[in-house]
Structures are given as structure tokens and as C-alpha cells.
Amino acid sequence: MKLTTIMIAGSLVAGCIADETTTGSTTQDEQNELVPKHEHKVRGEARPVKGGSNGINYNGGPIITGTTNVHYIWYGNWSGNSATSILTNLAQSIGGSPYFNINTTYYNASNVHVTNAVSYAGSANDSYSQGTSLSDAQIEAVVAAQNPTDTNGVYFVLTSADVTASSGFCTQYCGWHTHGTIGGRDIKYAFIGNPDRCPSSCEEQTTSPNGNAGADGMASIISHELEEAVTDPDLNAWYDRRGQENADKCAWTFGTESTASNGSKYNVTWGGLHYLIQQNWVNGGGGYCSMSY
């Protein structure tokens, strides 16, 4: 279920999540209540929690193996917005990076590890088919409308700044990931809100490396949800005793930063663009937040 405690911005360090793990069959109403399960919290204070020997536990569920495919659904009005190129570049460049290689420290019950490979599988547009205030069920409907079939992919619903999510965008979370049975397949998908709607809650900086604070803020949220969707796609694989997945344990921490010409901060350069991307949890060496492995 969604965590109901609101963590309002006030510190630039890690935000956390304490979700409940659910199993077994559920009614449709119960399923709607359980979505989303894992959220990237708004900015607030927390520290990583130790779980197993590396601070995170394997709970028996599947991971995404082989190449992970990223699908974008641009929801709302993105006309003339540089986000479409900034975030496409991110999806095209994150695979094979030292950063995404952190995810290779995670494995399934057969000891098959995540692969450091991500492919941008393309995008679709949705011009407000569900309005400007989306429920969890409507977000799933946005994904379902694309007739998704890729079980090795993650479908990202990216919303323009005039769109909100009624279950807590800007007050409880900045994004989340989950999965659902759509067209008889196990489809992984994520909601990524536009931080321009609530800069103090979901943007680390309002002057950003690519001159688009909303898009640059979304880049970090996308990275957060992507690495969680790969290591915990069905919400029953990798998380610690408080329900924190790998990205949750490092939320709102960025490691060593550089300064761009416009005074903004960044910590990686992918595809010729600078980004400020949160750290991820290395499942090794006792466990730690890092930008590379």
C-alpha cells in the first residue's frame, strides 16, 4: 500500500519509503489500492537502513534479465519542450554506463545477474486522454491504451507540468513504478511527474544543466524508477527490511558534483549532455551508495 506519511521538502538529503509487501490474489478494488507500491518520495530526511549483509535482501522474485527496453509515453502537452530530446538522450545513453552497472550486483534465484544493457524502444503521445488529474487506475489505462506487449520493458508515463496524479504527486512522491497484467502479460510501468509543478518537492535545483529544470529533474526520477523496476519488477525481489528498494536507499544523494557553465550542478555526462542523477545502492562490499560500479 502507499505510504501515507507526507515527507515535505526541507533537506537536500535522502528521502525514504517504507512500503508493505503483499502477496496472494486480490480483488480489483484491492489491486487499485495497492498501486503504486514503490514511490520516489518528495525531498525529506532519511538514512539508508541495513538489511542483509549488504543492507538489502533478496525476497525470491524475478528481476529483468538481458536488455531492458525503455518505452516513453509523453502524456499531456510537450510541444516545443526540450524535454523530449533531453530525456530521449538519457534513455539512449544510460545503458552500458558505469552508473547502470551498479544494477549488475543484483541477481535472481538462478544467480543470473542484471545486464548492463538498456535500449530505448521508442515513444508514443497521449494528449490528455484521461484528463489532467490522474488516478492510479487511469495511469494504468494510459499504458494499456498503447497495447503494451514488451515484458522485458518498462513503460514510463511522463506527464507535462499541467498534469498531476491524485494519489499524492508533489506531496508524497515524485514518481513510482509497479506492474500489472495487461493483455495477459506482466507489464512493468512507471509514473514520472514533471517537477516543474512542485520544484521545492521534486527538483534538486531550479537552474539545471540543460536549461530545463523540469526535464533535468525528471532525468533523476526516471533513473531511480528504472533501476528499481529492473531489480524489483514485480515488487517481490530486492528491498530491505523497511521496504526500501535499491534506489530508495540513496534517494536525493548525488555524490561528487561538478559545476556547469550556468552555475548548475551535474555528476554524469551521457550522450554529450550533463545530468544530475541520484546515486544507487551497490549490493556488495557491505552495501553503499555510489555513482558507479
Per-residue pLDDT reduced to its tens digit, 28-77:
333 333 334 577 788 764 556 666 799 999 999 999 999 999 999 999 99
- 69 assigned to some structural domain: yes
Q: Is the preceding omega at residue 36 within 30 degrees of 0, hence cis?
A: yes
Query: Which range is least confidently modeled, 43-47, 163-167, 210-214, 272-276?
Result: 43-47
DSSP code at position 130: T
Instruction: Specify the pLDDT at position 51.
Output: 60
Name the 3-class secondary structure at 229.
Answer: helix
* Mode of pairing for the β-strands spanning 265-266 and 258-259: antiparallel
Scanning the chain, the segments in alpha helix (DSSP H) are: 28-34, 83-93, 136-144, 199-202, 213-231
SS3 content of the chain, % helix, strand, coil (to 5): 20, 25, 55
The pLDDT confidence band at residue 199, using thresholds 50, 70 and 90, is very high
With beta carbons less than 8 A apart as the criterion, state whether 248 and 196 touch.
Answer: no
Q: Is the pLDDT of residue 234 over 50?
A: yes
Query: Which range is least confidently modeled, 14-23, 57-66, 179-188, 263-272?
Result: 14-23
The whole-angstrom separation of Cα 143 and Cα 139 is 7
- Phi (first) and psi of residue 92, to 5 degrees: -80, -15
Percent of the chain with pLDDT over 90: 82
Q: In whole numbers, what is the pLDDT of the chain averaged over residues?
A: 88
Name the 3-class secondary structure at 177.
Answer: strand
Cβ contacts of 144 within 8 Å, gap of 6 or more: 182, 183
Instruction: Specify the pLDDT at position 39.
Output: 76
- 279 assigned to some structural domain: yes
Q: Is the pLDDT of residue 103 over 80?
A: yes
User: What's the number of domains the chain is made of?
Assistant: 1
Which structural domain, as residue segments, surrounds residue 106?
28-290
The whole-angstrom separation of Cα 36 and Cα 142 is 15
- 6 assigned to some structural domain: no
C-alpha cell at 57: 535482501
Instruction: Specify the pLDDT at position 43.
Output: 72
Cβ contacts of 63 within 8 Å, gap of 6 or more: 106, 107, 108, 112, 114, 230, 231, 232, 233, 237, 238
Q: Is the pLDDT of residue 86 over 60?
A: yes
Instruction: Specify the pLDDT at position 71.
Output: 99
Mean pLDDT, range 272-292, rounded to an integer: 98
The pLDDT confidence band at residue 22, using thresholds 50, 70 and 90, is very low
Query: Which range is least confidently modeled, 14-18, 224-228, 280-284, 286-290?
Result: 14-18
Instruction: Specify the pLDDT at position 31.
Output: 35
- Phi (first) and psi of residue 28, to 5 degrees: -60, -40
- 4 assigned to some structural domain: no
- 9 assigned to some structural domain: no
Instruction: Specify the pLDDT at position 251.
Output: 96
Instruction: Specify the pLDDT at position 49.
Output: 60
Mean pLDDT, range 110-118, rounded to an integer: 98
- 251 assigned to some structural domain: yes
pLDDT tens-digit readout, 255-279:
999 999 999 999 999 999 999 999 9
- 13 assigned to some structural domain: no
- 126 assigned to some structural domain: yes
